[in-house]
Amino acid sequence: MTRTIEFRDALNEAMSEEMRRDKRVFLLGEEVAEYDGAYKVSRGMLKEFGPDRIVDTPISESGFSGMAIGAAMLGLRPIVEFMSWSFSLVAADPILNNAPKMLYMSGGQFGCPIVIRGNDGAGGQLGSTHSWCVEGLYSNVPGLKMAIPAFPADAKGLLKTAIRDDDPVFFLESERLLAYKDEVPEEEYLIPFGRALVRREGTDCTLVSFGRPVHFCLEAAEELAKEGISCEVIDGRTIRPLDLDTIVESVRKTNYCVVVDQSWSFGSPGSEIAAQVHAACFDDLDNAVGRVHSADVPTPYATELEHEYLPNARRICEAVRATTYNA
């Protein structure tokens, strides 16, 4: 059985179910308790679990991230909420220099089962400093896992998997998707990391993306279908680990590929995926892998400029036409 709920409520259900299942799980962050979450993701959780497990913190990302990492090393399973992943930059030392390296540096004595989650990317007129897409920065670091859900059902299933994982997981959400409604199963389920999903089948070109841009790809595929171009849309769901097998299988069928990534192009997940597809599918590709990224400028504030800055459906259509010689 399924029901239609918002993306934010799927996240709430995942955390609440795991907190009922495992007393070691707790949530901390700015405004997660008394205010029910800055974006109402933790709505009602303080009432059920109390202030010992739903913890409001000072505005000190470095401080409460470091505290959570210490708690994880000693056997608890913290969920850290950043109001925005932009704010994680001030916590770079604990979350990048400690959490992913702890198991390795301690010779296996201390793990770090921590989930760090929050809003990633342009959130709608939040300006340059509140609109970071951190996947390009953070996916480079070994020792962590990274999930970027595009739909409510995946948000719930992937977050439950993340909370049970013994490695640190960076869970990247989009503020622009929090109110998005879709069907979510009522029964217990988990979604394994490293398994992409074919959102739309096609024969002429493979579109690969993750997170909010998956919706842009589906919109572009709908438009291109009117021109007789059939696109297969792959939702990667996780970047670390990356399901290259599903991507390769699709590219060997379509012979063309366009990667869509809301990160800036230089040193991005999109560039890495393109490189891996070139290496694995060299004899299958009929053209170089196309790429669509956010423009190489700070995120604009104006609504119209922000839309053009992002890898929108129009830009994806143009890239597919060029890649498949249908310009």
Query: Would residue 306 show up in a list of annotated catalytic residues for this protein?
Result: no
- Hunting for tokens 């707790």 — which residue is that? 26
- Provide the token pair at 4: 């239609």
Contact 124, 306 (CB under 8 A): yes
Query: Would residue 61 show up in a list of annotated catalytic residues for this protein?
Result: yes
Q: Which of 203, 188, 139 is nearest to 20 (CA)?
A: 188
Give the active site residue among 61, 81, 135, 173: 61
- Provide the token pair at 209: 């993306």
Distance of CA 84 to the CA centre of its chain: 13
Give the active site residue among 13, 30, 130, 232: 130
Contact 257, 280 (CB under 8 A): no
Across 225-262, b (16+ Cβ under 10 Å) vs e yields: eeeebebbbbbbbbbbebbbebbbbbbeebbbbbbbbb
Phi, psi of 46, deg, nearest 5:
-60, -40
Active-site annotation, residues: 61, 130
